[in-house]
Structure formats: C-alpha cells, structure tokens
C-alpha cells in the first residue's frame, strides 16, 4: 500500500480483527507459558480421593511436532499446575520431570508445554498430572500419551487427514460408537494427523435427539454450550470441550499428534473478516464477525496444541519439517480473505484475496526453500470444487471457496492459485500434493494442464477427506479452470443431502511415504477403515 493512501474501511476492519486476535493469543502466552520450566520437586504425601484431586476431562494431546520439538497439551478442572514426565520408554525409566505452567481461568484451565531436545525418529512417552494450587498434596491421576518424532534412518512416514467434526446436529452418539472414525484412523498408527478445519460447528446447536429417515432416533450427548450458536468466549470454549467427551478422540489424541488449521465453522458458516450478520439470520445477538472470530480464535488456541508465536501470536499458517522425506505447509484461508462475492475479479487485489499477499509470499518462499522429497500443502478448502455461499443474508451467486464455477480463465480467488501453480512450475518445485476437507465427502483429483483453461503449471494431485462426524453432502460441481480429472468421489450423484453418520458415509485419508523408494501411497477410507480408493505416486526425479 502506498504510504500516501489511506486504508479503506475493509482494510481497517481486517486490521482491527488481527489486532484483537493478537491480543487474545498474547494473553494465552502470558497465562500459560512461564519464562523457564524447572525440575519437579518431591511431592508431599498425596491425597487419593478423586473428589479432592484435579481431573483431566479432555485427556492429553500433542501436536505441532517438528524435528526435536512437540507441544504437550491438557486441561484440568480447577486452578492447578501442569506436571509432566517424559521418557523414551513406556516404563518411564530415567524419566525427566518438569514443573509446567499454571492452568487458570484465563485459559479455561488449559495448559501446554513446549518440549525440545527430543530424540529424532524415536517414540517419546509422556504423562501429565495437575497439582491443585490451593492444596499441593492434591495431585491428579496421571494420563499417559506418546508421540513419534520425525527423523531416523529409512523410516516410512504415515499421516492421516480429514475434517468436519460434530456438524449439522450430528454429535456424539455413544450407542453408535461415538466418533468411531477416530478409532479407525488410530489403527493405521499414523505419525500425525492433519485436521483440515471445521473442528467444531459453532453455528450448529446439537439437540438430544434427531429423527432419522427410517423413524429411528439418533441420540446425542448434549451440553449447555452446544444448545445454541456460539457467541461468547465461553460458548466457543464449550464447543471445543464438547468433542473431548468422546473416548475415541481422547484415545487417538493421546497417541497421534495433531496439526490443526481452521475453516469457517470454528466461527460461523462461510464467514470473512469485517462481515456483519444480516437481519435474515435471527439466531445471533452479536452480529459482528470480527468479535465472534476473536473469541473463536482464542478458544481454538486454548484447546489445541498450537505452538503460539510470541512475535506473531495470531498466526495460524505455518510449516512443519519431517526431514528429507516430507514438509507440511498449513494454510489459513480465513483470516486474510476478502469478502465472499461472485469471485470474478480480473486482478489480484484485496477483494480477490484468499490467502492474502504476505501468506502467499510466505508459501512461495517456503516451497522454494524446501529440500524434502514431498511437499504437502494442507488447504482447508478444495481448489476446484464449487462451494456457493448459501447463507440467508448474502446475495445469490456468491462463492465461498477458490472456484467460481465459470470454467474459464482464472478470476477472483483463482488468481492466487494460478500464481502459486505458476511459481511451482517456474522454479521446478517437485512433488507437491494438496490435502483438504470442507465439502463433507471424499475425492481424489489429478490436475493436468492438457485439460485446463490455465495451463502454466505442473500436474499435481489433490485429495479431499471428511467428514469425521457430520452430515454428508455432495458431490458438488467441479470448476474446469485448472484441468481437474476427478479420479474418485465417495458419494453418488443425486444423493439426498445431509446424510447422518449412521449411513457410514464418513471419510478420511491415509498417506504413506516409503523411505526406500520415496513413493507416496494415498488411500481414502470409510468410517470403519475400509479402503475405498488408493493411488501410488512416484516422486519426480
């Protein structure tokens, strides 16, 4: 921006949103990250009554792992200090003990420790306790987890990907097996899990019962926070806490590190910075999306094992290195986008932004610097699947994702994709694969310039996972701008929309990189782990 030009109203709103988000994230850092971790001291005689000891209702979770580092996360039910032990063996022989940060009301009793110096290519075992601040002899039972660090010689890498959790009123049905897709993913023993967003449905209340087409009832666990749309910080916190009521998710999170991004339903369906909720939407008292998004972002940071950057605390996009075989680039397609529109802008300006210029430049330079065989871009929305914005308070013909459905040359947000793809070709960046979710069905698409309206790119694959536990939709129209050759779709044409999880149309992806051949095999699976589609991708020399 020229220093002589005054920012317009949209730019000011976006700046204010990011400033508010930074302040909220900074508060999390201040409350949970002490300047120095110290060795744990010998505890006094412990209280053994569960009524008097802190509890860990959400279990434990790890994430944001890279090289020798990992975030360990948990939550308790009262003011308490997080205590951590970790070792390279399950018996915790010669374990290291650490006094961690305080879990306090300001972070909804969540806490995290950023471990470093962990052994590459080895499994680290950890267990978390919480010590009551008012009664130091009251210490919780230990909850144990483990994680596998990147690195090691000739070790395959396996990861899972999916998204869309607790959507459309389909919550935790214990008679159905809860979020049983998490148990199916766990059996593949992935090194990590990419959660491609829609971790919660803050705009989707969950009722105790939903009547199915056959007359039977789907019975949900319910909580006060899930009884209405989320507006306050506590509402959003309650949405994230709800998913940890599921035993499958807690078990999975204790064994598999998470890499997490957000999409729209962490805040409100199809939102963008600066938006005001229109009068046609009657459920909201708070109608300013920047306010809602600030609350949502803070709750998301509190309830996930994010490594929060103290110099840029609102930042969600980031990169993770898994050594010579793999690097993962996590995008943020919410914080910097322009408003949803017909998506037909002819120049890449603020209105056409999806990643925004700084993130776009970061992605290009991060790809250019990468020396890994495979570069996986985690995008929370697919490239060519057309996603109209059907909110009641927006005009018809408005689009939510990259594609605009015109099947022509790149316009609007497609201009950013064209710029990325052209950059990859110009610099001969090899072996780029995209993974995503959002549309509530699974798909595998191969993009080739021979079939495209825009041809200045190298062929590549995109894989769509989801939903994890939400209504099944699709299949959507596919825009032809970038030459998509759809190899697989997990749902039939003409399917009735919003199918319940009881119909078993829930999906996830598994990618495995062979350490010797360096080939990547990607497969798509149903709720019970059955393989539906598989492709072997040989690396470009």
Q: In the chain, where are the structural domains located?
A: 36-148, 157-537
- In the predicted model, what is the mean pLDDT of residues 5-32? 57
- In the predicted model, what is the mean pLDDT of residues 443-472? 97
Q: What is the pLDDT of residues 140-195, one digit of tens each?
A: 999 999 999 998 777 999 999 999 999 999 999 999 999 999 999 999 999 999 99
Tell me: pLDDT of 98 over 50.
Answer: yes
Q: Quick one: pLDDT at residue 42? A: 46
Q: What is the pLDDT of residues 476-518, one digit of tens each?
A: 999 999 999 999 999 999 999 999 999 999 999 999 999 999 9
- In the predicted model, what is the mean pLDDT of residues 348-365? 96
Cβ neighbours of residue 314 closer than 8 Å, sequence gap 6 or more: 18, 21, 22, 24, 25, 297, 335
- In the predicted model, what is the mean pLDDT of residues 342-365? 97
Tell me: pLDDT of 37 over 70.
Answer: no
| Phi, psi for 124 (deg, rounded to 5) | -105, 130
* Burial class of 41 by CB neighbour count within 10 A (0 to 12, 13 to 18, 19+): exposed
Q: Quick one: pLDDT at residue 373? A: 97
Beta pairing class for 520-525 and 484-489: unpaired
Percent of the chain clearing pLDDT 70 (strictly above): 91
Cα 182 to Cα 180: distance, rounded to the nearest angstrom: 5
Q: Cis peptide leading into 475, omega within 30 of 0?
A: yes
Per-residue confidence band for 9, with pLDDT thresholds at 50, 70 and 90: low
Stated pTM of the model: 0.93
Q: What is the pLDDT of residues 508-519, one digit of tens each?
A: 999 999 999 999
Tell me: pLDDT of 450 over 90.
Answer: yes
CB 370 within 8 A of CB 433: no
The topology (CATH level 3) of 157-537 is Purple Acid Phosphatase; chain A, domain 2 (3.60.21)
> pLDDT higher for 110 or 7?
110
| Phi, psi for 70 (deg, rounded to 5) | -160, 145
Q: Quick one: pLDDT at residue 27? A: 57
Fold matches, 36-148 and 157-537: no
Closest CA to 260 of 205, 326, 192: 192
What is the overall mean pLDDT for the chain?
Answer: 93
First to last CA, the chain: 41
Per-residue confidence band for 36, with pLDDT thresholds at 50, 70 and 90: very low
Q: Quick one: pLDDT at residue 154? A: 79
Cβ neighbours of residue 491 closer than 8 Å, sequence gap 6 or more: 441, 472, 473, 474, 475, 505
Answer yes or no: CATH 2.60.40.380 is held by domain 36-148.
yes
């Amino acid at each position: 921006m020229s220093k002589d030009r005054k920012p317009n109203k949209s730019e000011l709103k976006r700046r204010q949103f990011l400033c508010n988000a930074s302040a909220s994230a900074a508060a999390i850092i201040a409350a949970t990250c002490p300047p120095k971790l110290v060795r744990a001291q010998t505890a006094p005689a412990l209280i053994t009554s569960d009524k008097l000891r802190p509890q860990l209702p959400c279990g434990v979770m790890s994430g944001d792992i890279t090289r020798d580092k990992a975030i360990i996360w948990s939550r308790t039910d009262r003011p308490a200090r997080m205590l951590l032990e970790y070792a390279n063996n399950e018996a915790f022989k010669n374990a290291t003990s650490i006094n961690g940060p305080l879990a306090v009301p300001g972070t909804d009793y969540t806490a995290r420790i950023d471990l470093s110096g962990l052994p590459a290519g080895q499994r680290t075992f950890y267990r978390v306790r919480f010590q009551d601040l008012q009664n130091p002899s009251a210490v919780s039972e230990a909850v144990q987890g483990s994680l596998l660090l990147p690195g090691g010689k000739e070790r395959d890498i396996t990861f899972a990907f999916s998204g869309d959790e607790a959507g459309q009123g389909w919550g935790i049905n214990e008679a159905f097996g809860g979020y049983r897709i998490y148990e199916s993913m766990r059996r593949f023993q992935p090194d990590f899990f990419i959660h491609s967003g829609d971790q919660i449905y803050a705009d989707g209340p969950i009722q105790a019962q939903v009547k199915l087409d056959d007359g039977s009832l789907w019975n949900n666990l319910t909580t006060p926070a899930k009884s209405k749309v989320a507006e306050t910080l506590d509402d959003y916190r309650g949405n994230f806490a709800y998913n940890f009521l599921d035993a499958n998710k807690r078990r999975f999170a204790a064994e598999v590190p998470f890499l997490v991004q957000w999409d729209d339903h962490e805040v409100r369906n199809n939102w963008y910075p600066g938006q005001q909720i229109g009068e046609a939407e009657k459920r909201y008292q708070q109608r300013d999306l920047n306010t809602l998004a600030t609350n949502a972002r803070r709750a998301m940071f509190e309830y996930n094992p994010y490594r929060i950057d103290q110099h840029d605390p609102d930042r969600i996009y980031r990169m993770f290195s898994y050594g010579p075989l793999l690097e993962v680039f996590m995008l943020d397609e919410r914080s910097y986008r322009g408003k949803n529109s017909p998506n037909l802008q002819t120049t890449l300006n603020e209105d056409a932004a999806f990643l925004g210029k700084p993130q776009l430049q970061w992605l290009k330079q991060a790809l250019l610097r990468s020396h890994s065989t495979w570069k996986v871009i985690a995008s929370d929305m697919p490239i060519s699947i057309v996603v109209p914005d059907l909110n009641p308070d927006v005009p018809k013909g408005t689009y939510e994702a990259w594609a605009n459905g015109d099947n022509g040359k790149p316009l609007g947000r497609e201009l950013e994709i064209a710029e990325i793809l052209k950059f990859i070709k110009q610099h001969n960046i090899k072996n780029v694969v995209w993974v995503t979710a959002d549309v509530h069905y699974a798909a595998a698409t191969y993009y080739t310039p021979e079939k495209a309206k825009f041809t200045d790119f190298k062929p590549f694959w995109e894989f769509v996972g989801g939903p994890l536990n939400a209504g099944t939709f699709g299949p959507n129209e596919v825009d032809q701008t970038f030459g998509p050759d759809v190899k697989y779709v997990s749902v039939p044409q003409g399917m009735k929309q919003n199918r319940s999880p009881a119909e078993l149309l829930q999906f996830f992806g598994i990618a495995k990189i062979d350490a010797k051949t360096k080939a990547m095999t990607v497969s798509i699976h149903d709720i019970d782990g059955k393989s539906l589609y598989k492709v072997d991708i040989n690396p470009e020399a």
